[in-house]
Amino acid sequence: MTLVEKILAAHSNRETVSPGELINVRVDLILANDITAPLAIKEFRRLGIDRVFDPEKVVMVPDHFVPNKDIPSAEQAKMMREFALEQGLVYFEVGEMGIEHVILPEKGLVLPGDVVIGADSHTCTYGALGAFATGMGSTDIASAMATGDIWMKVPPTIRFIYQGKPGKWVSGKDLILYTIGDIGLDGALYSAMEFTGEAVDALSMDSRFTMANMAVEAGAKAGIFRVDERTLDYVKSRAQRPYTVYEPDDDAQYARTIEYDVSTIEPQVAFPHQPSNTRPISKAGEIKIDQAVIGSCTNGRIEDLIIAAEVLKGRKVNRRVRCIIIPGSQAVYLEALHRGLIQTFIEAGAVVSTPTCGPCLGGYMGILAAGERCVSTTNRNFVGRMGSTESEVYLASPAMAAASAILGRLASPEEVAG
């Protein structure tokens, strides 16, 4: 069995499972946010029961439109807060908050071998920890909050092997953008993506989160990494409960195996209006930008901010560009403060926001006008994603976003920082 099949078998009390089988899976953690929780709560109430199956296994995070951007958002956040407190769920108020997919791993709430379902498509981020994590809708979450289990179809696994040594400015973001560009928006539809190979072994945890995060952009049900020393290092100081490390069998069956030589991959940028519309930066041409956003559940972690600061240090953001930097959590914010990154950003002429999803989904804190272009470290650039349907979003790494902010056009970090 593959890694994913091992985890699913263990959570459905079966010796083995195989792709295509419909199984009932026990879940270790259930997640919802200020957009999806209100619908889930309404549906939960219809079930006619009073309590969730286990309050310690249900997490609610206000992150999309908080601190509340307007009155309707305030109502939604209030509904979620009241339910979370009434039920005694795991809940983070704004002073402790962050983007769900940044804080759950950070707080040790997701551990290797877990099955996690979340009413958010980027729940797949936790695959970086060797967990099986997948996004669902609010009704699925409502049902799972009641029963502690969920129906699922066992996905086939596609194995991606990354060989070689990446160039200086090539990050996890570039590898995943390259991969999505190669296989397309539905290249891994209904499947799990397993990321392996020497280049992946050398990646930091933050870069692995970035890659797993965007598995859904290729249609995947989950993205997953094997647990190694780096994973265990990350988890050790955070875990407050036991966990199990699963390994794929030597004779595991993969639907496909795709190999890449990362030494030939340049920094990537996804052009509007699809994450799969990627090009190497050398083929981007002259694209002037009005805004740069560095943050989100894809690239709002400390490594991302360190790299952005390396590029921005001692330089100035182009005077035509709004550079918006959003740490993914209060912990990331605090560490950036200790390291002097926040000062670097402000001196460079960037604005630094409290953690929030904000502009990533066109909520607030950086909405685009018609005709404007933004280079962003987020994960989607669909029509109207960050504001006007006549605006454009270009997806890239934090290094490229920072370099572009300085030059006022899409630019390779190499041009600025060598």
Partner 1 sequence: MKLKGKVHKYGADINTDVIIPARYLNISDPGELAKHCMEDIDREFIGRVQPGDIIVADTNFGCGSSREHAPLALKAAGISCIIARSFARIFFRNALNIGLPILECDEAAGKTDASDILEVELSRGEIVNTTKGVTFKAEPIPSFMLELIEAGGLIEYTKRKLAAGGGRS
Closest separation in Å from C-beta 144 to partner 1: 9
The β-bridge partners of 260 are 162
- Alpha carbon distances (Å) from 203 to 53, 256, 303, 328: 37, 23, 11, 19
Nearer CB in complex with ligand SF4: 69/230? 69
Contacting residue, 292, 385, 400, 402, with partner 1 by CB under 8 A: 385
- Alpha carbon distances (Å) from 66 to 91, 97, 195, 208, 226: 14, 9, 33, 27, 34
| 57-87 exposure pattern, b = at least 16 Cβ within 10 A, e = fewer | bbbbbbbbbbebbeeebeebbeebbebbeeb
Q: Which of 26, 54, 37, 36 is nearest to 113 (CA)?
A: 26
Name the DSSP letter for residue 169: T
- Return the range that interacts with ligand SF4 (CB under 6 A); candidates 71-79, 87-95, 203-211, 357-365: 357-365
Binding mask 365-384 for ligand SF4 (x = CB under 6 A): -------------xx-----
Residue 196 φ/ψ, nearest 5 degrees = -140, -175
Residue numbers 183-202 binding partner 1 by CB under 8 A: 185-186, 189-190
What's the gap between Cα 265 and its chain centre? Answer: 22
CA separation for the pair 107, 109 (Å, rounded)? 5
Q: State yes or no: residue 89 binds ligand SF4 (CB under 6 A).
A: no
Q: State yes or no: residue 360 binds ligand SF4 (CB under 6 A).
A: yes
Residues 6+ apart with CB under 8 A from 229: none
How is residue 71 written in tokens? 């009155």
Nearer CB in complex with ligand SF4: 25/360? 360
Nearer CB in complex with partner 1: 38/413? 38
Partner whose footprint covers residue 378, from partner 1, ligand SF4, none (CB < 5 to 8 Å by kind): ligand SF4
Partner whose footprint covers residue 72, from ligand SF4, partner 1, none (CB < 5 to 8 Å by kind): partner 1
- Return the range that interacts with ligand SF4 (CB under 6 A); candidates 9-17, 77-85, 356-364, 407-415: 356-364
Contact criterion met (CB below 8 Å) for 55 and 89 = yes
Partner whose footprint covers residue 119, from ligand SF4, partner 1, none (CB < 5 to 8 Å by kind): partner 1
Partner whose footprint covers residue 99, from ligand SF4, partner 1, none (CB < 5 to 8 Å by kind): ligand SF4
Residues at the contact surface with ligand SF4, assessed by CB under 6 A: 64, 99, 101, 120, 122, 296-297, 357, 360-361, 378-379
> For binding to partner 1 (CB under 8 A), which residues are involved?
22, 26, 35-36, 38-39, 42-43, 46-49, 53, 64-65, 69-70, 72-73, 75-76, 118-121, 123, 135-140, 142-143, 146-149, 151, 185-186, 189-190, 216, 219, 221, 274, 361-363, 380, 382-385, 389
